[in-house]
Structure 1
Amino acid sequence: MEHFKAEYLPAELSDYEGHPLINALPPINSPEQTAKLIRRKPEVRAEEIALPAHIRRHAMLRIMDGFLYPTKAHLQLEQSISSMIRQGYLSRNIANKSYQETLNKTRNMPLQSTIRNAGNEALVSSVIGCSGAGKTTAVEAILAGYPQTIIHTEYQHVQLVWLKVESPHDASVKSLCINFFRALDVALDNDGEYEKQYVRSRSNVDMLLGDFARVAALHSIGLLVIDEIQHLDRSKSGVSEKILRFFVQLTNTIKLPILFVGTPKAYDLFSPSMRSARRASQFGSINWSRFNTASRAGKNSEWDRFFDQLWSLQWFKSPQPMTENIRSLFWDYSQGIAHVAVTLFYLCQTRAVTIGREIIDKKLVDIVFNEELHMIRPMIRALQSGREEEIQKYADLEIPRSNLIQSSIVQSSSVEVFESQPTVIREDSKFYQLVNMLEQMGVGSDIAPTVAEQAIEELPNGTLFDLVAHIRNLEEKEPLKREENKPKVVKLTPKYVENDLRLMVNSKGASYKTMKQEGVIVNLLDYL
């Protein structure tokens, strides 16, 4: 890994003056700079178009790895990461005694304490979205704009601006710590020294987490990214809750910002153990959704621009013009999931040059989707249906609508490229405050959101106390007896046929002996 020597820039804000860890960072990006920073578009070289099909296929692989179109979701994420890193460093200044105080706090960090009071400075955020929507790619593209390791020779300090760690598949604390120390060794070019030093057979859980916290403070990690957080859901013995509690303690004790990245399956992990931290979050939680249905309507929408850029990457001898039918066809088969659209386009193009017919039409797209993407076909069909009960059969597709009752919209930007905005969940809304009050009153967490939503709909301008009083009045009222118009029962006279069993039952009873005498029960011995 390349290590950068600290070069201190003038502080953009007075709050950041005299903070070497902040002043060594790149300047704060404008929206235009963010778009240029993360935009990636591979080159289609003229000489490659004349190559044989089996060689051209290799050039086309650049579509899969080298294409990234920036959206407003990327802008929001970059702003959140930029703010989290700088805010986390405010109380960790290596130029004064606050840095040593932070190190001292980790020595007696209470790993078993609760997180009931997370504090207003909890720097916890999350990016939750369906698989293939580009969450991890976006985070990595934004982090690439920061040097990972900065050496402060004047202070004899090695700063880690960010560290990305993947959640272990077995959801164990030891595996998490191993992943952390390995990522740390790679970032510092440390030849595995931290893993050798701390991960030992006799190390227990508390020892590993304590070492985790101390090393994180020692190297002034600016942002800890925990990817694939949904893996923690596989733990059924309370390990997941312990890990999440530990992360919140990191933010409270050493002011280490943490960004969780995961699929909708991870949404329930943040409640109840993470509820306090999420309420205290200054940066909200980003719902990193696929291109929404509305993006298909109108011209020059976010989906239009995304697919136009993708469609221009043709290694055909005669590039095929864009049509609205093609755009709609790819939307239907990708359902707005960026990775699926990119993969389908790449596979269609390689199939076209292989068969010697360099045209992408409906017949070719149908064949490629059904033959080469058949494993994801049930998921796409579920999204096409629009029925939530079908979508929720697949945990990685979308966050349930019930979890997205209250949302707010990100302010629009002056950058034209960012037209469609992500949904940002604000934890300080009236809805969440009301849900919190209801749960404290003893209302179950499973029904409190529904009760709160109904109350706000019926009393939209009421204060929190008005809403609580309204809910209590509803509880105290006796349910009204509804006079239902009962339908008249019309008696129908049955029509009987010859030897009707119903006549026999009504007149002679339904005993086995009677039915045998009437000859309606077959004697199997006669046929043996």
Structure 2
Amino acid sequence: MIKHPLAHYIEAEIPDYAGHPLINALPPINSPQETAKKLNRYPTVGDSEKKLPGHIRRHAMMRILDQFLYPTKSHLQLEQMLSSMIRRGYLSRNIADASHQRNLDTVGYTDFKSASRNAGNESLVSSVIGCSGTGKSTAVEAILSCYPQVIYHPDYQHTQLVWLKVECPHDGSVRHLCINFFRAVDDALGTDYQQLFVKSRSSAESMLGDVARVVALHSVGLLAIDEIQHLEKSKSGGSQKMLNFFVTLTNVIKVPVLFIGTPKALDLFTPTMRSARRAAQFGSLNWNRFERSDKPEQDAEWERFIKRLWKLQWFEAPTPLTEPMKDLFWEFTQGIPHVAVSLFYLCQTRAVMARREVIDQLLVEKVFNEELSLIHPMIKALRSGRKEQILAYADLDIPTDTIRASGIHVADPELPHTSTEPQQASKAQQLIDMLMQMGIGSDIAPVVAEQAIEEKPDEDLLGLVAHIRALQEKPTPKQVSKKAVAKPAKPVYLKNDLRLVRQSSGTETYSKFQEMGVVIRLDSFL
């Protein structure tokens, strides 16, 4: 039996919320400053970690993917919107009032199948629409995590489910969406609703009524439906049926519903739903990518974001952020946070595995071309500025698991990129490929891999590489030299350092030097 947090009531901030246990058990309403402080996530970079071997250090770098969140004005606006939706939705659902049981009885006898056919406008329906990779789902999850998901009220013997986030299935099936709902409720409450309501012959229509009753029984404060654009794939009018059902939920039970999706989701909304979105008293957010300032002396959200991200370097001598580098990252990411974070992470993994701890323009170009080729059409469309091209690639996303997998098989920037698929290759062949990428010759790599697997047959690839590195780092017997060998000095970079302006060819490097005013044309003096 899961023990849920007990309700601790605070004084109502406004008279409207007085005497409402479901509202007064929530945390205090945050100011924008408090919201920014709570949402800000910045991973630590330990000085001792910067001295670790590259194959270990890259694991610490994964914090960039998991623990970095830069709150913007959109985050603050979204938090205010969700805070208002949850509290206003509870106004007509007061468990301290005798009408609460009557409302439950009304829900129990309501035919949601017929009611959803005539769903009207409801101001408690809202949406967050934006291109994949802009961080809208992450933002919603971060804001909702500031609230306890479950609160138990002993005086009323009532279990309150403050929020519930459900992902729309990829096939757009209404039945599978209901199953996802019951599974999410069971995970939060420790109940067995999925086993109770999901049967082999259960239809989508019958389960919709069960969903509504569970929502009412546990006083769900906010129902967030993520990836709503997947309903586009549903057949036989299922998408419209589901959207009407959610609007009916807000009409009958007064539970706020938040849709999260890409611009393709806009095609799902019929004129009725479009009217509901326009009438929404809380507004609907367009979650856009970062904006870039046209004035060099002013920092827009993109400049502040990239400056903060750039400090997360696991190098003993961090690479400074130059204006050409900011321009290059903008060109390759077009202000999409997820793409920028992924590119920055992959550049670092390549640099440390190649034992050349610097992020220069040549490295960024190689990583973008080889590791992020999947998003090239989208970036090209964003550069064009043409709406039809942008919407064609609006659903593109880069799963974290894919990023991490590609980050393992990094290559020296100066070596050719291998296209061997690790899933199809044997363990020995994968190890040989990794050793060759680390700089071990093709004639020696098979022998070293065979010996390592023979000595450590149960180790995975990373363990075998660590074992080989340990053997390489063992000191070999040699004559003791009286003169100590001086270690190379750590590089120190200056502003507009020419070492960071290297291009893919000598001609391009020369042209870049001309733009910076470093190269003087002598013919003008002759």
Shorter chain as normaliser: what TM range?
0.7 to 0.9
Asked whether the equivalents of residues 181 and 195 of structure 1 are also in contact (C-alpha less than 8 Å), the reply is yes
> 1:207 — aligned with what?
206
SS at match of 2:151: strand
Change (3 A) 1:201 1:114: closer
Instruction: Tell me the CA shift for residue 247 of structure 1.
Output: 0.2
Task: Write the mapping of 1:422-441 to structure 2, written as runs, cut at 5 A.
Answer: none
SS at match of 1:113: helix
Change (3 A) 1:296 1:254: farther
| Structure 2 residue 310 is the aligned partner of structure 1 residue 315 | no
Q: Distance in 2 between matches of 1:374 and 1:158?
A: 48
> 1:42 — aligned with what?
43
Q: Distance in 2 between matches of 1:108 and 1:245?
A: 19
SS at match of 1:150: strand
Q: Which moved more, 1:301-310 or 1:337-346?
A: 301-310
Asked whether the equivalents of residues 2 and 149 of structure 1 are also in contact (C-alpha less than 8 Å), the reply is no
Match of 1:309, as an amino acid?
R
> 2:224 — aligned with what?
225
> 1:488 — aligned with what?
none
Q: Distance in 1 between matches of 2:296 and 2:103?
A: 52
Partner deviation per Cα, 1:335-369 (whole Å, 9 max, x = no partner): 00000000000000111111111111110000000
Asked whether the equivalents of residues 111 and 209 of structure 2 are also in contact (C-alpha less than 8 Å), the reply is no
Partner deviation per Cα, 1:150-209 (whole Å, 9 max, x = no partner): 00000000000000001122222211110000000000022xx10010111232232211
> 2:120 — aligned with what?
118
Change (3 A) 1:138 1:254: same
Q: Distance in 2 between matches of 1:12 and 1:295?
A: 42
Instruction: Tell me the CA shift for residue 53 of structure 1.
Output: 0.6
Change (3 A) 1:126 1:381: same
Task: Write the mapping of 1:294-305 to structure 2, written as runs, cut at 5 A.
Answer: 294=293, 298-305=297-304
Match of 1:345, as an amino acid?
F
Q: Distance in 2 between matches of 1:143 and 1:300?
A: 29
Q: Distance in 2 between matches of 1:357 and 1:261?
A: 42
Asked whether the equivalents of residues 118 and 276 of structure 1 are also in contact (C-alpha less than 8 Å), the reply is no
Q: Which moved more, 1:166-175 or 1:337-346?
A: 166-175
Asked whether the equivalents of residues 22 and 160 of structure 2 are also in contact (C-alpha less than 8 Å), the reply is yes
Q: Distance in 2 between matches of 1:392 and 1:321?
A: 35
Q: Distance in 2 between matches of 1:295 and 1:75?
A: 24
Partner deviation per Cα, 1:268-320 (whole Å, 9 max, x = no partner): 11223423422331111100010134477642221111111100000001011
Change (3 A) 1:76 1:397: farther
SS at match of 1:176: helix
Partner deviation per Cα, 1:248-269 (whole Å, 9 max, x = no partner): 0000000000000011111111
Asked whether the equivalents of residues 296 and 303 of structure 1 are also in contact (C-alpha less than 8 Å), the reply is no
Match of 2:77, as an amino acid?
Q
Pairwise CA RMSD of aligned residues?
1.7
Asked whether the equivalents of residues 22 and 94 of structure 2 are also in contact (C-alpha less than 8 Å), the reply is yes
Q: Distance in 1 between matches of 2:349 and 2:295?
A: 27
Asked whether the equivalents of residues 295 and 302 of structure 1 are also in contact (C-alpha less than 8 Å), the reply is no
Instruction: Tell me the CA shift for residue 114 of structure 1.
Output: 5.6
Q: Distance in 2 between matches of 1:85 and 1:293?
A: 33
Instruction: Tell me the CA shift for residue 390 of structure 1.
Output: 2.5
> 2:253 — aligned with what?
254
> 2:176 — aligned with what?
175
Q: Distance in 2 between matches of 1:296 and 1:3?
A: 52
Q: Distance in 2 between matches of 1:384 and 1:14?
A: 51
Change (3 A) 1:167 1:2: farther
Task: Write the mapping of 1:47-196 to structure 2, written as runs, cut at 5 A.
Answer: 47-111=48-112, 112-113=114-115, 118=120, 122-190=123-191, 193-196=192-195
SS at match of 1:151: strand
Q: Distance in 2 between matches of 1:363 and 1:160?
A: 51
Q: Distance in 2 between matches of 1:300 and 1:369?
A: 25
Asked whether the equivalents of residues 292 and 301 of structure 2 are also in contact (C-alpha less than 8 Å), the reply is no
Match of 2:270, as an amino acid?
S
Match of 2:91, as an amino acid?
L
SS at match of 1:40: coil
Q: Distance in 2 between matches of 1:106 and 1:75?
A: 35
Change (3 A) 1:201 1:115: closer
Asked whether the equivalents of residues 224 and 259 of structure 1 are also in contact (C-alpha less than 8 Å), the reply is yes
Asked whether the equivalents of residues 169 and 177 of structure 2 are also in contact (C-alpha less than 8 Å), the reply is yes
Partner deviation per Cα, 1:350-404 (whole Å, 9 max, x = no partner): 1111111111111000000000001111111111122233223324279xxxxxx
Task: Write the mapping of 1:369-388 to structure 2, written as runs, cut at 5 A.
Answer: 369-388=368-387
Task: Write the mapping of 1:211-290 to structure 2, written as runs, cut at 5 A.
Answer: 211-290=210-289
Instruction: Tell me the CA shift for residue 101 of structure 1.
Output: 2.7
SS at match of 1:318: coil
Unaligned stretches of 5+ residues in structure 2: 398-526
- TM-score of the pair, normalised by structure 2: 0.73
Q: Runs of at least 4 residues of structure 1 off by over 4 A?
A: 114-117, 293-298
Match of 1:88, as an amino acid?
G
Asked whether the equivalents of residues 263 and 391 of structure 2 are also in contact (C-alpha less than 8 Å), the reply is no
Instruction: Tell me the CA shift for residue 242 of structure 1.
Output: 0.3
Task: Write the mapping of 1:296-445 to structure 2, written as runs, cut at 5 A.
Answer: 298-396=297-395
Instruction: Tell me the CA shift for residue 117 of structure 1.
Output: 6.7
Change (3 A) 1:355 1:263: same
Change (3 A) 1:201 1:116: closer
Asked whether the equivalents of residues 292 and 300 of structure 2 are also in contact (C-alpha less than 8 Å), the reply is no
SS at match of 2:329: helix
Asked whether the equivalents of residues 224 and 258 of structure 2 are also in contact (C-alpha less than 8 Å), the reply is yes
Change (3 A) 1:269 1:361: same
Partner deviation per Cα, 1:73-106 (whole Å, 9 max, x = no partner): 0001000000000000000000002322321221
Q: Distance in 2 between matches of 1:94 and 1:296?
A: 55
Q: Distance in 1 between matches of 2:17 and 2:370?
A: 56
Q: Distance in 2 between matches of 1:296 and 1:303?
A: 13
Partner deviation per Cα, 1:402-456 (whole Å, 9 max, x = no partner): xxxxxxxxxxxxxxxxxxxxxxxxxxxxxxxxxxxxxxxxxxxxxxxxxxxxxxx
Change (3 A) 1:263 1:298: farther
- TM-score of the pair, normalised by structure 1: 0.72
Change (3 A) 1:267 1:2: farther
Instruction: Tell me the CA shift for residue 2 of structure 1.
Output: 6.4
Change (3 A) 1:36 1:285: same
Match of 2:152, as an amino acid?
I
Match of 1:113, as an amino acid?
A
